[in-house]
Amino acid sequence: MKMSTKWADSIVGEHIELVYGKSLPDRDRQKGEFPVYGSNGIVGQHNQFVTKGPGIVIGRKGTVGQVTLSKKDFWPIDTTYYVKLKQDGDIFYWFYLLQTFALDQMNSHSAVPGLNRDNVYSIPVKVPSLVEQKRIAKILCDLDNKIELNQQMNKTLEAMAQALFKEWFVDFRFPGYEKVKFVDGLPEGWEEKTISECGQVICGKTPPTADKENYGVDISFITIPDMRGNPFVIKTERRISFKGASTQRNKELPPYSICVSCIATPGLVSMTSEASHTNQQINSIVSNRDISPFFVYCTLLDKSEDIKTMGLGGTATLNLNTGDFARIKIVVPTDLIMKEFHTTVEPLFEKVLVNAKESLRLCALRDSLLPKLMNGGFSHDT
């Protein structure tokens, strides 16, 4: 890479137009293939579109300044703008460039958050040639495409594990089931156990926040947002220090512990990827040596709706206490079937973990490259 000298000084408004989206209430949406975008992303589907993809949607009201890319033809609703290029340009390049402008901090309405497009138009910008726009966009798109491929692969791998779990432990079509007697509705040798009989149940705790030295970079501190959509928690919004961990030594979780949210948003299930702590909204299970953590994970994922229902309790805040959680009953197979299930799904979950860690590294690489590529610091001639 070498320094570029061909970047032209201009303002955003010379290159793009922000067009108001079009109203489409829920009642008027018809089943179809085209995504409907609100200010914070996809909010539905419709059988018609407003503009062709690929295209850019920017939150105008509500989630101000969020920049979203639609690869398909789409319908942006009236809380958004969509982008039209006013001259030759690469739409993917502008998608990445717009993310560098901190549009979410340009709220121009006091009562309801809003983004004034004139403020966006006036942002000074250096813009390279179309050829270089495409080269820069390809670097970033390649990274995002690999991240997306990993995410899709992980969904497939987890679905495979869950399908096998259902076949063996819900439908009872496990290897050799034809030769097994059933007693009281369960295969012979299988038994119903409480969660606490399958492993150590640990309710999380938050180190005292008044002491800032309890927090740092040493150990993952899992909260509910870290668990959403993640079979493994590989990144947390907050981390605690070794000092903070020492205030609650009996709360540390080893890798492959199963975390279940039980307060506020009960029913989320994830596994730890490293030694971790959680806050008090999460109960975790450290599986006994004869119990596969993947079996426990799949079991509790299968019971997530039941856990959510148990947390209702008639109060404003959903809450499943640790005692009731520990008493949840699950069906446990024989040691032979448990080991066979573990051996079969372990490679699937290990690949999920490898993919997730790779995606995290790729995200960090993309985020570090983005400002450099967009500020004219490099030319990508080869």
Domains of the chain in sequence order: 8-127 (3.90.220.20), 191-332 (3.90.220.20)
Residue 113: pLDDT band (50, 70, 90) is: confident
Q: Is the predicted pLDDT of residue 111 greater than 80, yes or no?
A: no
Residue 124: pLDDT band (50, 70, 90) is: very high
Residue (of 352, 364, 370, 313) closest to 160 by Cα position: 352
Predicted local confidence at residue 13, as pLDDT = 96
The stretch 30-45 carries a mean pLDDT of 96
The stretch 349-374 carries a mean pLDDT of 96
Predicted local confidence at residue 238, as pLDDT = 95
The stretch 190-196 carries a mean pLDDT of 97
Give the predicted TM-score (pTM) of the model: 0.86
The stretch 133-156 carries a mean pLDDT of 96
- The rounded distance, in Å, linking the Cα atoms of 164 and 148 is 25
- The rounded distance, in Å, linking the Cα atoms of 226 and 277 is 12
Residue 349: pLDDT band (50, 70, 90) is: very high
- The rounded distance, in Å, linking the Cα atoms of 213 and 208 is 10
DSSP 219-267: EEEE-HHHHTT-SEE---SEEE-HHHHHTTGGG-B-TTPEEEE-BSSTT
- The rounded distance, in Å, linking the Cα atoms of 363 and 369 is 10
User: Among the listed ranges 56-60, 188-192, 229-233, which one has the minimum average pLDDT value?
Assistant: 229-233
Per-residue pLDDT tens for 146-161? 999 999 999 999 999 9
Q: What percent of the chain is predicted at pLDDT more than 90?
A: 85
Residue (of 306, 286, 296) closest to 349 by Cα position: 296
Q: Is the predicted pLDDT of residue 240 greater than 70, yes or no?
A: yes
Furthest CA-CA distance within the chain: 79
For β-strands 16-20 and 80-85, DSSP reports them as antiparallel
Residue 249: pLDDT band (50, 70, 90) is: confident
Sequence-separated (6 or more) residues with CB below 8 Å from residue 143: 362, 365, 366, 369
- Count of alpha carbons within 13 angstroms of residue 60, beta-carbon side: 20
Q: Is the predicted pLDDT of residue 340 greater than 60, yes or no?
A: yes
